[in-house]
């Protein structure tokens, strides 16, 4: 198997994973709509950093703690609370200010949200979702089955091949997230403030629902099936 084929397969898997609808998607859209494209990208970077951490931990088998009922219970409650809080703040967002034409200014600042704050917000939101850990189990499992490949006169070890495959997935997922931010920002520049305000309300309710589902899954033995 060639290195190019490994990269192409990684990109294709990344595109497939990017189509999965989960709470992080709604949070990403909300951030881009409310705070602008740059804030959305910072949030996406936070998500990507958390994905790297999760992939690293899953690779070393740390995800096995999710099989422990007590650990799963604690993780689900924490993740649910984080999503509910984020959803409440989203729901309570004030209506964006319009310019003289009744639309949101293209250069609306990102509400003073610093790079570190927005990136950290994306990191915390994503890594607190138990579904993210399940989301990465399959790609990591595929990566561990890969064998050595050659690039010219250089032969990559099976471990290096796995890292190249996972890197292709991670880069593709991040690229797709940035594209989602661009689409959301484009909508921001053409939609009326009142419409964006309504969208924020809907996204807030969706995130709250995700959070409640995670918490209730602990008490009613519902198997979480949330993905990012």
Within 10 angstroms of residue 114's Cβ, the number of other Cβ atoms is 11
pLDDT score recorded for residue 178: 95
pLDDT score recorded for residue 49: 95
Q: What angle do CA 90, 94, 99 make, to 5 degrees?
A: 125
Q: Where are the domains of the chain?
A: 3-220
pLDDT score recorded for residue 11: 93
Question: Considering only CA atoms, which of 143, 177, 198 is closest in space to residue 22?
Answer: 177
Q: In angstroms, rounded to a whole number, what is the distance separating the alpha carbons of residues 139 and 136?
A: 6
pTM: 0.75
- Read off the tokens for 188: 């921001």
pLDDT score recorded for residue 142: 84
Q: What is the CA radius of gyration of the chain?
A: 19
Q: In angstroms, rounded to a whole number, what is the distance separating the alpha carbons of residues 163 and 169?
A: 10
pLDDT score recorded for residue 21: 78
Left, alpha or beta for 139 (phi > 0: left; psi -120 to 50: alpha)? alpha
Profile the chain (228 residues) by mean pLDDT over runs of 10 residues. 82 88 85 87 94 88 62 74 83 66 47 72 86 82 77 72 90 95 84 76 86 80 48
């Amino acid at each position: 198997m060639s290195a190019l084929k490994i990269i192409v397969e990684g990109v294709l898997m990344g595109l497939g994973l990017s189509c999965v609808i989960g709470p992080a998607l709604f949070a990403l859209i909300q951030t881009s709509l409310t705070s602008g494209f740059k804030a959305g990208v910072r949030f996406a970077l936070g998500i990507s950093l958390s994905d790297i951490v999760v992939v690293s931990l899953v690779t070393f088998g740390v995800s096995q703690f999710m099989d422990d009922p007590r650990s799963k219970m604690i993780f689900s409650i924490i993740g649910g609370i984080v999503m509910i809080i984020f959803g409440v703040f989203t729901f309570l967002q004030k209506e964006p200010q319009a310019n003289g034409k009744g639309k949101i200014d293209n250069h609306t600042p990102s509400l003073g949200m610093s790079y570190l704050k927005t990136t950290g917000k994306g990191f915390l939101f994503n890594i607190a979702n138990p579904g993210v850990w399940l989301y990465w189990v399959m790609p990591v499992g595929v990566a561990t089955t890969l064998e050595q490949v050659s690039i010219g006169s250089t032969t990559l070890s099976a471990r290096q091949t796995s890292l190249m495959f996972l890197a292709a997935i991670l880069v593709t997922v991040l690229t797709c997230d940035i594209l989602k931010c661009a689409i959301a920002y484009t909508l921001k520049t053409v939609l009326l403030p009142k419409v964006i305000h309504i969208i924020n309300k809907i996204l807030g309710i969706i995130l709250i629902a995700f959070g409640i589902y995670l918490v209730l899954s602990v008490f009613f033995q519902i198997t979480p099936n949330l993905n990012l």
